[in-house]
Amino acid sequence: MSGWVIPEQWRAQVVPRRGGMTVPWPEPSADAADEWGRLLADPALGIVEGVVFNDVPRAEALEFAAAWAAGGTLTPRGAAAAALLLGGDDATLPAEAWVQRCGVVFAARAVAEMVTLIFHPFRRDETVYARSLGSGGLQDWWNRNDPEQDRMYADEQALFKAATVVRARLAVAGDDDYAAALTTLGGYRAGPLPQRMITSFLTPTRPEWIDADIAGMAEWYGQFEIDHRRLGLEGRLHTLLVLAAGTPAQFRALDEAMDRSPVGIEDAWISHDRMLGTLADVLGLDLMQVLNQRRFGDVAGIRSSHTYGLTEQALSTLMAIPADDALQRVIDTTLDTHLADFHECGALTRDPARALRVLARSELGERPRNQQWLPSIYRDVIATVPAAVLDELPAQDRVLVDEVLGAGLGRGLAVRLDMGEKYTTVFERAADRRQAITWLAAIPTDEALGLLAERADLKYVTPALLKVTKRDPARALRVLADWETVDERHRSVVADVLRNHVLAYPEVAAAAVSGPSSLGVAARARIEEIGATPAVPVAAGTDVPAALRTGAKAKRLPGWLVVGALPGVPLRTGAVLPEPAVRELIDLIARSTFAAPRPGLGEVRTTCDRAGLAAFAWGLFTQWRAADHPSGDKHAMLALGLLGDDTTVPAVSALFGEWAFGAAARVRTGIEVLGAIGSDVALTHLRRVARKAKQKGFRKLAEEKLDRIAEVRGLSPAQLADRIVPDLDVGADGRLLLDYGSRRFVVTFDQWLTPQIRELTPQTGEQAGRVLKRLPKPAASDDTDRAAEAQAAYTTLKRELKDVAAERLRALEEAMLTERTWRGPDFTALLRDHPLVRHIAGALIWRIVDGPSFRIAEDRTLSGHDDAALTLDDGMAVQLYHPATGDPELTATWAGILEDYEVTQPFPQLSRAVHRFGPGQAAATEISEFAGAKVSAGLLYAMATRGWRFGDGHGCLVRDWPGGHTVTVAFAPAYDPMMYDMAEPRVLGNAVAVPEFGRLGPIAASETLRDLHRLSAGD
């Protein structure tokens, strides 16, 4: 045991001298004998409802109780019988009472006598508890509700607690008392094996007793035909030998004996703390020989499964053992888990050479690795070794640095980062991924830098890589230029990193190529190739916009921004801005806001190529994104909004889903970007966010942005929505041509904007044949490139068309209900002639305000119900026809005309039922005809998407009508917006109008009654 000290938490209050268990043990109560005497004096002693005791031991127990009270002669067998007869939770009390009243030798004899009196199905001795004649037999003991099994557990628990107390007292007893106890207990060695085991447990200083007990286990348990494990009797009395054994050889023999016997170890009798502390105290440096055996390692809390890990006490004890196998066990148990903090063990500062040696062996493949867990050990090696330990290591141990940090830890972390891209279980949190990257970046080896550079395209890596390369640009250049990897993707990533590094540090690159260095031929060639990029004409100073010729001192740029790697900003003349002007442009952007861009940006947009500015902005954004979106740098998002164009919009919108959870501020800024670009394409995407974003806050923000833009343009939100309907590259004739080279197809649309594909006849270019179900696959005779482009265009069309169709159909139906009007030019441009909307508009009936109704004929002319052509003047207003305001005969005429032309309307118009309030209803502000009807929560939600809205805490539906009129329909219980109670039906209340119902216009009245009927009918 020399060379180490048992941790203080393992020390008992009474220092063990003769194999006492090192666990804090309470001092005995001073009046333990009196307390037990009061229990023995209970008149009900020996009488327990439902329990039958054997007569002889019961009588002995009662005689002992009387003698205890009267000061008579006390027998160890009577003491044992009384303890078992009395039962109770505190079995330590009788043992303490025996020691106080009769001495430790008497107590040892009493414990030995208890063995033959406790209840056990394998013993034929006369036990205190009598076996029930009605027992179902031992084969039923697997059912844990058997009372006899409960009694056996209680008796053996009482024995163990009493024996533990007596062992602790014998450990510190005087030499004479201990010798007398050995002699007395030796007399019990002729008894059955369980009694012999008790003597070994009480006095573990007799190794020959322990050896004999272990050797006799197989024969003793082999005489019983019933398997202990089947009965749930896994290892009871023989478990005491685990706490009696004192040498590795004895533990090996005990392990083999239990393998040959139908028994295991009773964990409930041996706490991890007690087992580990006792083994450490008696075995010293031989401890690991025992703990490395699975059976004893488990019961001592040194488990190999990450589900359990190591307790704090177990960790401290193992770390106190100056042996490689002890540290190896700690590493094996904690390296891949979160359950123990290796850093707090102090292994690296306590014995750094051993720690590095064992870590290197672990990391370099001598054991399997559980890749699921993040190894907490990495933090400590990387954080502690470079800073404090390496300088103190002997010279012969320094070789371990590269082995552990580079080949071991670095590669291990790189593997985990790669696996994290495939399996979400590798990193439970984003913080774990960032920590792993930080550890890899902190390893001061060339290999670690190369491994980090290979993964520069992974999330969170670029910021760490930039810090490493900036710390020593020359070293970084050497590593990146020399780095070789077999993985094609990694090779491409490192090449990009090298290019940015050369462009960021041109002086370092020039010195490395022109001067003496350790660079190889291939490395020099790579650097020279980057520097030899074809030059683009640089604009003369007078051609540069004045706003970028201030001559002010160049502003310091963020560390992630490499100006040389950005796309050049071309002027309309073709020359690009020089680098000082680019830096001025970046500074101009940084000092702007979306609402108030710096005045000079207007000149820049006028002078420079718009597509080039958009590409420059996207390059700036790409670098910012690769650097993990530094929150303090607003250059990138501002550049997108102030310099971006329609090509920028889809790329930004595509990122909203990624940003929605965990980066909401970025989505809000992205909405500002779309608003700042302000094109029809940008506003279309903004409208999509307003309608389809999953988060209510984003929908509201986008809607507010659209409303502000509409206000600035002097438009209503609906008018703005008309102007931003995309054409999806459909031609002015409402058709999309798809060219396969040898074949061509045309896509047309019906009134619901469902695409219909037909093949064109090669000779005439006319539509031929039936509508195809899908776009055909390219044939061998087709042009491969053209066919691929055509298929991609059609895929994009279908994806976008679904949203456009749903939004326009909803908007036009709502326009019919609210009597919205269009001026003549707007109707022509936005409805009649729009490449997509024209297909919907052509299936509807329109009317000139205070004038005739008409339809849009196939030749795009306006035709009345009598087929007379109409001319639409610019000053005329047009609205959708509604049957509630039209002559029923006219409505019928129009229905017949559409039927003749085989036109089906995209939503109910001419077929729409017309409702009118009765006299009593028209004069009222509240009607109750529909109250009491039950309606599903799903229908309420559907109505809230059809012009109604929830009000009063989702306790009613509200409909706003032109002229400031409002109709409210109450229901109960209130609707849960989280949809947790969708199955519960609601009951309608009264409908209330402000002002009275009769003041509603004909369309509003008809639609209100139509919706009330639908609600009450559950439609």
| Predicted pLDDT at 677 | 95
Query: What's the domain count of the chain?
Result: 5
Asked if the structure places residue 20 within a domain, the reply is: no
Distance CA 535, CA 530 (A): 11
Say if residue 106 is in the same domain as residue 201.
yes
- Residue 122 in this model has a pLDDT that exceeds 60: no
Say if residue 118 is in the same domain as residue 224.
yes
Say if residue 946 is in the same domain as residue 893.
no
Q: Which domain holds residue 582?
A: 541-723
Cis amide linkage into residue 973, ω under 30° from 0: yes
Q: Fill in the amino acid letter for 402.
A: D
Asked if the structure places residue 294 within a domain, the reply is: no
Mean pLDDT of 706-725: 94
Cis amide linkage into residue 985, ω under 30° from 0: no
Say if residue 644 is in the same domain as residue 705.
yes
Largest CA distance in the chain: 132
Asked if the structure places residue 502 within a domain, the reply is: yes
SS3 410: helix
Single residue among 531, 558, 573 that ends a domain in this structure = 531
- Residue 394 in this model has a pLDDT that exceeds 60: no
Say if residue 843 is in the same domain as residue 892.
yes
Asked if the structure places residue 128 within a domain, the reply is: yes
Say if residue 865 is in the same domain as residue 748.
yes
pLDDT band at 241 (very low <50, low <70, confident <90, very high): confident
Say if residue 396 is in the same domain as residue 525.
yes
- Residue 670 in this model has a pLDDT that exceeds 90: yes
Record the tokens describing residue 594, joined without a space.
Answer: 């979306």
Orientation of helix 312-319 relative to helix 324-334, angle to 10°: 150
Task: Burial-class residue 931 by CB neighbours within 10 Å (0-12, 13-18, 19+).
Answer: middle
Asked if the structure places residue 906 within a domain, the reply is: no
Asked if the structure places residue 572 within a domain, the reply is: yes
Name residue 967's beta-bridge partners. 959, 993
Distance CA 868, CA 702 (A): 45
pLDDT band at 484 (very low <50, low <70, confident <90, very high): confident
SS3 951: strand
Q: What's the sign of the alpha-carbon dihedral 474, 477, 482, 485? A: positive
Distance CA 808, CA 812 (A): 6
**CA 837 from centroid of its chain's CA atoms:** 43
Q: 806-814 long-range CB contacts below 8 Å, 24 or more apart?
A: 807/687, 807/691, 807/721, 807/725, 808/725, 808/753, 808/836, 808/837, 808/840, 809/752, 809/840, 809/906, 809/907, 811/718, 811/721, 811/722, 812/840, 812/841, 812/844, 812/880, 812/907, 813/907, 814/947
Per-residue pLDDT tens over the stretch 532-547: 666 678 888 888 999 9
Taking alpha carbons only, the member of 314, 227, 232 closest to residue 268 is 232
Single residue among 843, 873, 900 that ends a domain in this structure = 900
- Residue 201 in this model has a pLDDT that exceeds 50: yes
Per-residue pLDDT tens over the stretch 887-936: 999 999 999 999 999 999 999 999 999 999 998 899 999 999 999 999 98
Say if residue 247 is in the same domain as residue 107.
yes
Between 361 and 665, the higher pLDDT residue: 665
**CA 91 from centroid of its chain's CA atoms:** 49
Single residue among 531, 556, 577 that ends a domain in this structure = 531
Element (H, E) at 965: strand 965-972
Asked if the structure places residue 315 within a domain, the reply is: no
Say if residue 247 is in the same domain as residue 359.
no
Asked if the structure places residue 894 within a domain, the reply is: yes
Record the tokens describing residue 578, joined without a space.
Answer: 């020089």
Per-residue pLDDT tens over the stretch 859-884: 999 999 999 999 999 999 999 999 99
SS3 791: helix
| Predicted pLDDT at 218 | 84
Predicted TM-score of the model (pTM): 0.60
Say if residue 351 is in the same domain as residue 425.
yes
Say if residue 823 is in the same domain as residue 969.
no
What mean pLDDT, rounded, does the chain reach?
83
Say if residue 103 is in the same domain as residue 241.
yes
**CA 349 from centroid of its chain's CA atoms:** 35
